[in-house]
Chain A
Amino acid sequence: MSDGVPLTVEGVSKRFGDVRAVDDLSFTVAPGRVTGFLGPNGAGKTTMMRILLGLVRPDTGTATVGAVPYAQLTRPLRVVGAALEGGGFHPGRTARHHLAIVAREAGMPTSGVDALLDRVGLTDAADRRVGGFSHGMRQRLGLATALVGDPGVVLLDEPANGLDPAGIAWLRQFLRWMAGDGRTVLVSSHQLAEVAQGADDVVIIDHGRLVRQQPLADLLASSGPRVQVGSPDTDRLAAELVSRGATATVVGPAELRVEGATAAEVGEAAARIGAVLHRLVDDHSGLEQAFLDLVGPDSAVSEPRPEGPS
């Protein structure tokens, strides 16, 4: 395996016609950590990844892999592995042939193909045409493709799309294993829960601009405690909580959402004023909410991905 090196994006902008896909974007991705690259659909994640990989040329700015632009790497697949959306497979080719061809192009021996297939659990499907593969199988083949050159840097574009819950759990382990070996791992996703348990750092973008780059733990901490409250005394309870410095929003009949107070504090407040509680639940959708707060609910609504670059 080659050493994990940092990815550096500096002032990158890219327009497609009138669409500003990436807008003066700068961030870094550190080796040995899993970095979630987050943003709603159409935020510019795929375009940015393709710029990092030399497939799309930025209008301005630089994107480098260990200080070298991708296109200038001498043996790129030994440094960087990538799995892009759609996979880039010929539907008429078998998984084994696909990997053997990539290995040849990378100047690697084709003898490693069996081990790769085994690594991603595709041994049984090795000689089937990719056209008949399920979404999950394609994702696995994409991962195997990324690992052909045993690279120190791995970029995965929406690798969890189409995976079932078991597949997502498997993917998280896979990401941990890769980062544990010191690799630089950048994983894009528009779904947050799947990343919450897997990432060390997050880079959040929206409309092509950087919204936040920080360790995931900091992001979760900054979003503060949240509690869902079921009570027939919503108005009185809300007033009491607000007087204690929390934010309380009536979100339905007999339903409150509280920010800035723990479940225990809400319970105490209710006891003090004699309000009835039906339900008191810690809200663990921290990342989801933090994300919505950062990018706004409008853009976070999943829209069908438009044709072409996002």
Chain B
Amino acid sequence: MTCLVRAELAKVMTTRLVWGLLLGYLGFVALNIVIAVFTAGTQGLPPLDSQQSVRGVFASAGTGTVFSLVLGVIAMTGEFRHGTASTTFLAVPRRGRVVAAKAMALPVVTLGYAAAGVTVTAGLGYGLLAAKGVDAGAADPQIQRVLAGAMATVALYSLLGVGFGALIRNQIAAVVVALLWVMLVESGLVAFLPEVGRWTPGGAASAMTLGEPVRGVDLLPVWAGALLFVAYGVALAAFGARSTVRRDIT
């Protein structure tokens, strides 16, 4: 299995996509930080030295999880799109092992994304806040926990992506479905039906990043959110491995 995980790591790291998505993710994070810093205190938003604003700045590391998600989807569906599935399944006829190896390898890669994102967030966040005369640590003592949560979500979203990819072989369809789910269905549920939304992968991810209660409904505890999120990813991947991935490779 170690060999397979290393092979999957090599697959991801030997294409340009991984770097393109990393740049996209970091740009997105930086943009969010800048927006959070410069809109604070305007249009009725809380002032920059409030806990809410400071937390918003540092939670930026956890935005752009879609880049992690998309990397996972493409890593899985790319096998079918480029026909590399033939090569892969010749080496590993037990296809479930390939999905399992991807499910383990992709979070390792996106943990790298997360580390870069947290580094950018910490640097830019502390820098901009200091330049604005705000003592970040005093405003929000939980910055490190927020950053740790962000790191975990960004790392784990690629697992969910592998799950979507294992379930839907067509790459474009898989990317579209995953994005629609995350950006529309799930965020809608979290915002308008929080009793349901907190049980979705997105709700679980919010719990990991110490999100605020929505409409008086508390999110899950951090540990439960993390467990639930991983369970979603593993369940999707396992289900895909037993259904879609087993189909004929023609």
Contacts and interface: CB of A to CB of B under 8 A. Distances in A.
A88 B4 contact: no
Contact of A90 (B6, B84, B250): B84
Nearest to B85: A88
A70 B82 CA distance: 23
Interface in B73-98: 78, 82-94
A57 interface: yes
A236 interface: no
B92 to A, nearest CB: 6
Among A55, A71, A105, A106, chain B packs the most CB atoms within 10 A around the CB of A105
A182 B91 CA distance: 22
Contacts of B87: 88-89, 102, 145
Contacts of A57: 248
Contact of B88 (A80, A105, A309): A105
Contacts of A106: 91
A308 B250 CA distance: 7
A102 B11 CA distance: 10
Nearest to A51: B248
Interface in B1-47: 3-4, 6-7, 10-11, 14-17
Contact of A70 (B4, B10, B93): B93
Nearest to B5: A104
A105 B248 contact: no
A55 B11 CA distance: 21
On chain B, which size bracket covers the interface?
20 to 34
Contacts of A56: 248-250
A191 B105 CA distance: 43
Among B16, B89, B90, B92, chain A packs the most CB atoms within 10 A around the CB of B90
A87 B83 contact: yes
Among B3, B86, B94, chain A packs the most CB atoms within 10 A around the CB of B86
A101 B82 contact: no
B94 A84 contact: no
Contacts of A64: none
On chain A, which size bracket covers the interface?
35 or more
Contacts, number: 88
A97 interface: yes
Interface in B206-250: 248-250
Given A55-B249, A73-B93, A77-B91, A104 B6 contact: yes
A82 B90 contact: yes
A77 B78 contact: no
B10 A76 contact: no
A53 B90 contact: yes
Contacts of B94: 71
Contacts of B7: 101, 104-105
A101 B14 contact: yes
A54 interface: yes
Contacts of B14: 90, 92-94, 97, 101
B244 to A, nearest CB: 14
Interface string A41-58: 000000100100111110
A296 interface: no
A107 interface: yes
A11 interface: no
Nearest to A76: B93
B84 A309 contact: no
Interface of B: 3-4, 6-7, 10-11, 14-17, 78, 82-94, 248-250
Interface of A: 16, 47, 50, 53-57, 70-73, 76-77, 80, 82, 84, 86-94, 97, 100-102, 104-107, 145, 308-309
18 contacts: A50-B250, A53-B90, A55-B250, A56-B250, A71-B93, A76-B92, A76-B93, A77-B90, A86-B86, A88-B86, A88-B87, A90-B82, A92-B15, A92-B16, A94-B14, A104-B6, A105-B4, A105-B91
Given A93-B15, A105-B4, 8 more contacts: A53-B90, A55-B89, A55-B248, A56-B248, A84-B86, A89-B87, A92-B17, A97-B10
Closest 10 CB pairs of A and B: A105-B91, A88-B87, A104-B7, A97-B14, A55-B249, A71-B93, A88-B86, A309-B250, A56-B248, A92-B15
